[in-house]
Amino acid sequence: MYDIAIIGGGVNGCGIARDAAGRGLRVLLVEMDDLASGTSSRSTKLIHGGLRYLEHYEFSLVRHSLIEREVLYKIAPHIIGPLRFIFPHQKGMRSLWLMRLGLFLYDHLGGRTILPASRALDLSRDEAGAALQTQFTKGFEYSDCRVDDARLVILNALDAHERGADIRTRTKLVTAKRDGKGWDLHLRDLRTGKSVHERAAIVINAAGPWAEEVILNRLGVDTQSQVRKVKGSHIVVPRLFEHERAYIFQNLDKRIIFALPYEDDFTLIGTTDVEITGEPGDVEASAVEIGYLCEAVSDYFKKPVHPADIVWSFAGVRPLFGHERINPSKLTRDYVLELDESLGTAPMLSIFGGKITTYRVLAQKVWQSLEKVLPKGARENWTSEVALPGGDFAIGELEELVAHLQQSCTWMDNKVATRLVRAYGSRALQIFTQEGKALECGEDFGCGLCELEVSYLIKTEWARTADDILWRRSKLGLRFSKEQVSRLEHWLQEREKGA
Ligand SMILES: Cc1cc2nc3c(=O)[nH]c(=O)nc-3n(C[C@H](O)[C@H](O)[C@H](O)COP(=O)(O)OP(=O)(O)OC[C@H]3O[C@@H](n4cnc5c(N)ncnc54)[C@H](O)[C@@H]3O)c2cc1C
């Protein structure tokens, strides 16, 4: 019997699993697809306070999100890093004094000790102005952080597992029924088609945009809460500017569009707000959204962006909590926890909404909500101080780790070694070396992705398919040719047959 069963292997489910396993609870997490295959790999990839939420007076959300930036950066410096944002002033939009006030609040609302403060910019002199049209002469610069969203999920799952949690991917919750003693969960292994039954005292519904479907169809419980499903799309184009800062643009409809340096050679542009009613797993960036994003950034950059430039696009669905009459872009990005104890002894907790940025605090709040029904488990909050796997090195030591890895593995060029340290942190040395000597790497599938790494991902990080490896454990999908993808797929099939 598990203490808690978590439905959903996104950032919230995996963050809760880590927190609970570290408190000594018996944890089961089921994910019907791959870890992070839902919204949590389809975000703008920012750990941010959310400058624009200040306009909606969401001061509490902005404050605890701002504090989280540095907390998360310290526990995962390999996958999280500081990012400066250029905010050009556009006549007829938010006034200079309003931008200055917003940034003053952003600097002072909470928790900024490492990240530099905001400052005014003369874009006619700053190199960031060179990529912009000449009318943009004034602006500001401020700090937030970037994150590898999918790896954040996987590292939380890995840490949870290393603390005893049972993580089952490709496993769907079919139904769950409660009796006086807990929940009986009917699960299906989607790879073998086999049904399995497990028992848990508490169910946590962390199914993101599927949360309502899980409550109504899988758990058979009634709810008054509404999840609004709001699609957001992104496009990726070859790098549009040479520096390492990002841009935040105000669009004519008053929405905000980001253009971020991405994976060294690309620019990531997003996002949109389109309400949907269908299955959240099937979403794609539509031609209209692509046109909207291209036009929005072409109003700022000297070199216009065209749909033909796009090398990749993706869409995700925000599971937002709120009433159907509110405009999607004005719905709160904060989360709501709903505890259902109608049968007294078999509680269920549902999570609605939330951000990547707030997943760790959310997991602590889950613990607080369940404390009275779960007498067992350590009470002290612990996740703010303990590094995620591979994150146990000081901020600023990343280059040293890269050099160390290259010294041991002479076949690696700087690009490959940097990718590996950014993905695995200090664990890169454990994966690729033994007693200071390079391990045999096997076939190179392309861009330095070798058999040794693929086997590690299968054995340790629940990877099964080429997509798991090329789009969630890494972003090598941006660089692989069709032939390289086919070769990897073939190798994985052969390995599976032999297993
Ligand atoms: C376009 C966009 C941009 C965003 N940008 C940012 C950003 O820059 N910064 C930020 O902080 N936040 C951002 N967010 C918000 C953030 O991405 C989400 O709030 C967060 O990822 C939600 O995580 P989750 O774990 O709740 O849901 P998900 O990641 O969707 O996870 C839910 C999981 O449940 C699984 N599941 C569903 N039903 C079942 C079942 N029956 N059995 C088993 N498993 C099941 C699904 O397969 C899925 O993997 C963005 C969101 C979007 C859409």
DSSP 141-199: EEEEEEE-HHHHHHHHHHHHHHTT-EEESSEEEEEEEEETTEEEEEEEETTT--EEEEE
Query: Cα of 39 to ligand 1 centre, how many Å?
Result: 3
Q: Is 10 helix (H, G, I), strand (E, B) or coil?
A: coil
Distance of CA 375 to the CA centre of its chain: 31
The answer, yes or no, to whether residue 124 has pLDDT greater than 90, is yes
Residue 328 pLDDT = 67
> 415 and 64 in contact (C-beta within 8 Å)?
no
Render pLDDT for 147-195 as a digit per residue (tens, 0 to 9).
Answer: 999 999 999 999 999 999 999 999 999 999 988 789 999 999 999 999 9
d(CA 271, CA 165) in angstroms, rounded, equals: 35
Is the minimum distance from the CB of 15 to ligand 1 under 6 angstroms?
Answer: no
Residue type, 273: D
- Our mutation pick for probing the ligand 1 site, out of 14, 170, 203, 210, counting the most ligand atoms within 8 A of Cβ, is 210
Over its C-alpha atoms, the chain yields an Rg (Å, rounded) of 23
pTM for this entry:
0.97
The answer, yes or no, to whether residue 254 has pLDDT greater than 90, is no
pLDDT band at 324 (very low <50, low <70, confident <90, very high): low
Tokens at 237, concatenated: 């184009």
The answer, yes or no, to whether residue 357 has pLDDT greater than 80, is yes
Summarize the confidence of residues 308-336 as an average pLDDT.
83
Render pLDDT for 69-107 as a digit per residue (tens, 0 to 9).
Answer: 999 999 999 999 999 999 999 888 788 888 999 999 999
Residue 329 pLDDT = 65
- Judged on CB neighbours under 10 Å (0-12, 13-18, 19+), 220 is exposed
Is the minimum distance from the CB of 39 to ligand 1 under 6 angstroms?
Answer: yes
Query: Which atom of ligand 1 sits closest to the CA of residue 46?
Result: 8
Is the minimum distance from the CB of 232 to ligand 1 under 6 angstroms?
Answer: yes
> 133 and 301 in contact (C-beta within 8 Å)?
yes
Query: Cα of 127 to ligand 1 centre, how many Å?
Result: 36
Measuring from atom 18 of ligand 1, which residue has the nearest CA? 355
Summarize the confidence of residues 254-280 as an average pLDDT.
94
Render pLDDT for 238-252 as a digit per residue (tens, 0 to 9).
Answer: 999 999 999 999 998
Residue identified by tokens 């920012």 is: 46
